[in-house]
Homo-oligomer: A and B are copies of this chain.
Amino acid sequence: MSDLRRTSVQDLLRSTELDREVLVKGWVRTRRGNKYVQFIAVNDGSGFNSIQVVANAEQFPEEKLKADGVDNGAAVAVRGKLVASQGKGQSVEIQAEEITVYGTADQDAYPLQKKGHTLEFLRGIAHLRPRTNTFGAVLRIRHAMSFAVHKYFNDHGYFYIHTPIITGSDAEGAGQMFRVTTLSDTKPPLNEAGAVDYSQDFFGKATNLTVSGQLEGEVAAMALGKVYTFGPTFRAENSNTARHLAEFWMIEPEVAFFDLQDNMDLAEDFLKSLVRYALEHCPDDLQFLNDQYDKELLNRLKFVVENDFQRLTYTEAVDILKGAKQKFEFPVDWGTDLQSEHERYLVEKHFKKPVILTNYPKDIKAFYMKLDEDGRTVRAMDVLFPGIGEIIGGSQREDDLQKLQQRMQEMHVPEEDLWWYLDTRRFGSAPHAGFGLGFERLILFITGMANIRDVIPFPRFPKSAEF
C-alpha cells in the first residue's frame, strides 16, 4: 500500500470524490458488529469525527481482527474504497481491503479502554488523555485560539516579542516566584553576611522565572509601536484551585500612543475576534463540548460576539453593588478590591453581559498604571466575563518619569532593578497602554471546561510536575 498517499480522516469526511482507493492511518476508537460485518471507527486526531471502516467478515473474520489486535487504541493503516455510507451518522465510509496493525493496545492493561472516565482520573494519565474525545476537542480548540491570537495581531500590524523567561527582578511584585539556579543545592557559596553569594551563580545574580513580560513589552512598544507577547509565565503560589496554575501562558499586547479608550477598544475587538474564530473553525469540537458538558456554551459564545461590552468605572460599579438587593459575603466599600462574587453579580445578574471596569483606586493596582487627574484612581481596566470573572487586566501606563518614580517609592519598588524601564520615560516617553490575557482563562471560556488543569496539556500545580 506504499504507493498510495495517506489522506487525513477530516479530508476523507469532507470528500465528495467517492468510489476511489484511499489509505487512512490512525487509531481504533471502537470496533463493533456481528458475524457478517465489523465496523471499526478510526480517528487520526485531525478532527473530532472518526471515519467508519466496514470490514466484511469473509475477508476479516471477527476472530482474526481480535487476534491481530484491531481493537480500541490500536494504531492501524486501512486501505480500501471510499464509498457513500449506508448507515446513519456519516456520509462516507471505507470498505476495507487491507488492514495493517502498527501497534496494539492490550485491552486489559490500556487505561482508556473503558468508557466514562472522570476528568480527575484522566488528569492522572495526561499522556493518554489527548486520545479522548474531550481532550482532543480541547487541544484542537487551544491550537485554533493560539493561531487566532497570532493572526489577529499580525493582521493588525503588531510585532510578536519574545520577552525573557529567566529574569533578574521581581518587577511587577505580582506574587511569589520560582528561583532559577545552578549553584550547589546543599553547599552554595555564601557571602560575608552568610547569605548565598549569587554573584557566583550562572547569571552572576539571583534569577527567577518571569511573572509577566509587560515591562519588556513596554520597552519594545517604545520602539516598534505595536507589540505583543505570548509566552509562559509562572506563579509559585500554593493555590490548589480550579482557577490557578503554577505555569500558564499569557498574551500581553502593548501599544505606543494608546490611551485607556484605545485599550478597551482593542481588548473588546480582540476577544470578540477570538470567539468568532472558534465558532467558525471549531464547530464539531464546540458542539461536542456543548452537548457533553455545558448546554449553554454555544449560546454564551454567540452572545459575546453579538453584544457590546458594558463599560463603567469602578466607582460606578461600587454604587451599583451597594444598591444591590443581593447579600454579599464580603462588604463592598470604595477602595477595596472587588471579590469574585461582586464581579459575577455585575456580569451575570446586573448587566448580563461582559463588563469592562475602569479607573480603580490606585492603592489596589500596580505601580506602573497612569494616575488619573484626581490623584486617587488610575487608568486601569479589567474585563470581566461570565463564568470566568477577570479575563483581562490592563491599563494605560504612567508615562511621566517623576510620577512613576513617586509611585515606585510609595510601593517600595526598587529603582535600581528597573533603571532600563525608567529609561523609556527618560528618552522619548509617550502615552501607551496594554493588557494581559491569561490564555488558559480564555480556553476555559471557549471550551466551557470547569477546571483550568483540563485546558493545558501538562498542568503544573503544587506537588505535580509529572510528564
List residues of A whose CB falls within 8 A of some B CB: 6, 8, 10, 25-28, 44-46, 73-75, 77, 102-106, 109-110, 112, 125-128, 130-131, 135-136, 139-140, 142-143, 146-147, 150-151, 154, 157, 159-168, 176, 178-183, 185-186, 188, 190, 194-196, 202-205, 207, 209, 216, 219-220, 222-226, 231-232, 234, 236, 238, 246-247, 249, 256-257, 399, 420-421, 423-431, 456-458, 460, 462-467
**How many Å lie between the Cα of A456 and that of B216 in the bound state?**
12
CB distance from A231 to the nearest CB of B (A): 7
Is A420 in contact with B467, judged by CB distance below 8 angstroms? yes
CB distance from A457 to the nearest CB of B (A): 6
**How many Å lie between the Cα of A104 and that of B401 in the bound state?**
12
Known contacts A44-B225, A209-B180, A225-B8: A220-B130 contact under CB 8 Å: yes
Q: Which residues of B contact A46 (CB under 8 A)?
A: 157, 224-226
A206 to B, closest residue via Cβ: B185
A164 to B, closest residue via Cβ: B458
The 9 closest A-B pairs by CB, nearest first: A103-B429, A130-B223, A45-B224, A45-B225, A75-B430, A203-B465, A127-B420, A204-B463, A143-B159
A132 to B, closest residue via Cβ: B223
A248 to B, closest residue via Cβ: B162
CB distance from A89 to the nearest CB of B (A): 22
Q: Which residues of B contact A426 (CB under 8 A)?
A: 105-106, 109
Contact of A185 among B176, B196, B429 (CB under 8 A): B196
Known contacts A166-B178, A226-B46: A146-B160 contact under CB 8 Å: yes
CB distance from A441 to the nearest CB of B (A): 14
Contact of A219 among B130, B178, B207, B462 (CB under 8 A): B130
From A109, A159, A247, name the one whose CB has the most chain B CB atoms within 10 angstroms: A159
CB distance from A33 to the nearest CB of B (A): 20
Is B162 in contact with A423, judged by CB distance below 8 angstroms? no
Is A147 in contact with B139, judged by CB distance below 8 angstroms? no
Is B128 in contact with A460, judged by CB distance below 8 angstroms? no
**How many Å lie between the Cα of A247 and that of B429 in the bound state?**
30
A462 to B, closest residue via Cβ: B202
**How many Å lie between the Cα of A180 and that of B179 in the bound state?**
6
Known contacts A44-B225, A236-B202, A460-B203: A110-B164 contact under CB 8 Å: no
Is A136 in contact with B178, judged by CB distance below 8 angstroms? no
Known contacts A46-B157, A225-B44, A225-B46: A429-B102 contact under CB 8 Å: yes
Write 23 A-B pairs (CB below 8 A) sorted by A numbering: A45-B159, A45-B223, A103-B428, A105-B428, A109-B427, A125-B420, A127-B424, A128-B423, A130-B219, A131-B223, A136-B223, A140-B224, A142-B160, A142-B162, A143-B160, A164-B457, A164-B467, A165-B209, A166-B178, A181-B181, A182-B236, A183-B185, A207-B465
